[in-house]
Structure formats: structure tokens, C-alpha cells
Structure 1
Amino acid sequence: MQASIDYEQLVSAIGDAIVISDAKGAITLWNPAAERMFGYTQAEAMGQSLDLIIPERLRGRHWEGYDKTMATGITRYGSDLLKVPAVDKDGKAMSIAFTVALLRGPDGQISGIVATIRDETVRFQEERALRKRIAELEAKVNAAA
């Protein structure tokens, strides 16, 4: 026995950002977690390019991969976690991790991509501080030897 699922409620309630973009990269869904994470309201994000959250220096590489995925229907990030920099509404740098799934229209053609995104900024900063501390300790040990 399978219960009916209210997908709109699920997308709204989930703690991770859910962002859907069409084949051209325009945002078509922006859930409340995306609002909290990136600072843009749904009204501000809808219809906008994903450039909204992509650092300018990485846009060329992003769109190269995006267009290739749209053309081939293949992405390795359906199961592999992608960790990349992002920016919020205030231009503040973030570290995010996400997976994607390709969406297909009734004709079977790819119509867009859904990304499930988590803010990893604090964890990334903690890991960087730990790596720095390890390097400092190793330098002390090597200097003493």
C-alpha cells in the first residue's frame, strides 16, 4: 500500500535547497531552503539565470559543462557529490555540495536539471583550518628532526 505524496509540500519542507533550471539555465523552481541559503526570494530567483549563485570566475566552466549535459543527456553528478564555490545575494562566498538529476519532457528530451544543494561553508572552513594546523605541526616536527 503506497500513500499519496504531496510533492509540492515535500519540496517546500525539505531542509536542502532544491533548485530546478530549464535547458537554458533559467531557474524554474526555488524552494524555501534555497531562499534561506542564498538570500534571494522565490520571486527574485524565478526566471533568472543560475549565474545568480555562480561566482563570475567560474561561469564559463559551469556553462560549458551545463551545455554538454543538455546536449548529451549525461552527467556524472547524479550520484557523485559536486563541491563548488557559490555566492549569495550579498556577494558573500559560500561552499556548496550538491547532486543533480536530469528532467525529461513528455517527448523524452531533457527539459532541465534539478539540484539538491547543501551549504558546506562552515565544514569547509573547519577542514581548511585543520589542514593548516596539521601542516604547521608537521613543519615543527620536521624542523626538530
Structure 2
Amino acid sequence: MENMDLIYKRVINASLDVIISINEKEEILLWNDASSKTFGYMEDEVLGKPITLIIPKKYHRKHKNGMRRFIKTGKAKLIGKVVEVEGIKKDGSLFPIELSLSASKSRKGFIFTAIIRDISERKFLEKKLEDMAIRDSLTWMYNRHYFNEVINREFERAKRYRYFISMMIIDVDKFKIINDNYGHARGDLVLKGIAECLEKNLRSSDIVIRYGGDEFLAVLPKANGRDLRTVMEKVKKRVKEWSENSDFGFPVSISCGGYALNPDRKKNVDEVLKEADKRLYKDKKR
């Protein structure tokens, strides 16, 4: 009859999940093939080594405290549960994992076994789905739904910490003519190009939204009237330069209107938008 230890090892190595066992000294006793594929260490590199080899430093204290508590009292926070944390690979890169722990008593003390799954792909897909819900599919700027979710919060924060907040509306000049004369595909390229100009020339703290067909909206926290005027001129200039360097065969320009809200002024989002829209209309008339 085939040796049971050999059968056991074959079963463990056939698992697609990472299976790792350690003793009370935190030394690695079991390391299956999936562990090597996931973490990058071969079995002979880790056996007898501390499990902290694959645990990010930010978890070290919690891990050690949890081990001590369980060995002394039998009480555990993680054992018997499935949690999402991060692991660290041989190359030092962090990645998301799903972890479940179990403990068993042996003559030499407790043996702790972890079943681990790399959930990087799942997290990527989740993030993609989240982005699809709040991003415009053409320009990948935030969409109106996202704007409606965050704008009141941004206004409340500006009011609480007493700083200016500005809103800027950007409209593509003669966009209907571009679509009618050159086609919607060319119009889409114009929108993508302008979105890229906005993203490159605004701060990371600014929020850019595709607000309508050819209309973008930017929320600029901590930007007063002077800052707003500077940003509008800068964006217009960058769009003009981008247009001149493109091969569209026609000029592309934008009009801008904005309003900087003083924290002492009591205006709501709709009122600020209305003021910004009035200024946009004046700019288009020039």
C-alpha cells in the first residue's frame, strides 16, 4: 500500500490554493506547490523559516499578538474566519489575498494552517466595475452620477474648513458643427483630447466630470477667484496648443465659465452652477 504521507503530499500539492502550516515558533512546516507559484519561494527556501517572510510588516505585531493570545487562552479573532489582507512576495511586491486559518493540537503544541487565495484578479475586476459605474465610458472622466454623489460633501468640507471652492464649466466651441461636418468619430477624438488636456493641467485634488455631451465640469477645492482665472486661461491655452499640433484639419477651442465660492457666502451647488453657466455664456459670446 502506498505510503500515506506521500499520498497526503500529493493531495496538498494538487490544490490550487496555497496551503501553509506553521508551529508555535512561527516556523514553516508545510509549503505546497501553489505556495511557490504564489509567493515565489521554493519549498527548500522557506521550510523552518519564520512565516513573517510572507507577511507585510504592517501586520507583524497583530500576527504575533494573535499567536500569543491563542496559545495562552485559546481565544482567536481570525481562526475559523475568512479575511482579506495582503501578502508579500519574494520580490517584495504586495498583493491582496483571501485568508482562512485553522489550528490543531499536536504533541509538540499547536499547528496553524492557512488556506490562501490570490485575489488580485478579483480585486482588479471589482475596481473596474466600480470605475465603470462612476466613469464616462468615452473619456474616462468622472460622470454626472459621481458628481451628484460627491459635490455636496465637497461643499460641506469647504464650509467646515473655511476655504474657497471653485466650479468651472468647459464647453467645446462649435461642437455640433464638428460632428456634422467631420463625423461623430472625429468628435469623440476631440472630446478625448480635451479630457486629456484637463487631466494633465489640473491638480490631482481637482475633480473633472464629463457633465454633458460636449460639456465638462471641474470642481477645484481651495481655489479662489484668482486661481480660477489662472486655471481657465491655462486650460484654454493648452487646448489651443493641442489643437494646433493635431491633424484634425480644423481648429478646436473651448469656452470656460467659473465661480469661486467664498466660505462666507451662502450659495448652494445649484446657485454656484448657475453663476458659472452665466460666465460660460459670456465667454462664448466673445
Superposition deviation, residue 78 in structure 1: 4.1
Q: Residue in 1 aligned with 2:55? A: 54
Q: Does structure 1 residue 81 correspond to structure 2 residue 79?
A: no
Q: Does structure 1 residue 99 correspond to structure 2 residue 104?
A: no
Structure 2 residues without counterparts, runs of 5 or longer: 135-141, 152-210, 212-269, 271-286
In structure 2, the residue corresponding to 1:89 is in which secondary structure?
A: coil
- Structure of greater relative contact order (alpha carbons < 8 Å, 6+ residues apart): 1
Q: Residue in 2 aligned with 1:20? A: 21
In structure 2, the residue corresponding to 1:103 is in which secondary structure?
A: strand
Q: Residue in 2 aligned with 1:31? A: 32
**Match among 111, 133, 140 for residue 147 of structure 2:** 140
Q: In terms of Rg, which structure is larger?
A: 2
Deviations 1:54-73 (A, max 9, x none): 11122112211222122222
Superposition deviation, residue 17 in structure 1: 0.7
**How many percent identity over aligned positions?**
25
CA contact (8 A) 2:95 2:118 kept: yes
Amino acid at match of 2:34: A
Deviations 1:5-58 (A, max 9, x none): 932221111111110010121111111110000000001111111111111122
Greater displacement, 21-30 / 74-83: 74-83
In structure 2, the residue corresponding to 1:116 is in which secondary structure?
A: strand
Structure 1 residues without counterparts, runs of 5 or longer: none
Aligned length: 140
Amino acid at match of 2:47: M
Q: Residue in 2 aligned with 1:126? A: 125
Amino acid at match of 1:21: I
CA RMSD after TM alignment = 2.4
In structure 2, the residue corresponding to 1:58 is in which secondary structure?
A: helix
Amino acid at match of 1:115: A
Amino acid at match of 2:120: T
Q: Does structure 1 residue 69 correspond to structure 2 residue 76?
A: no
Superposition deviation, residue 132 in structure 1: 4.1
Q: Residue in 2 aligned with 1:113? A: 112
CA contact (8 A) 1:73 1:110 kept: no
CA distance in 2, matches of 1:134, 1:11: 40
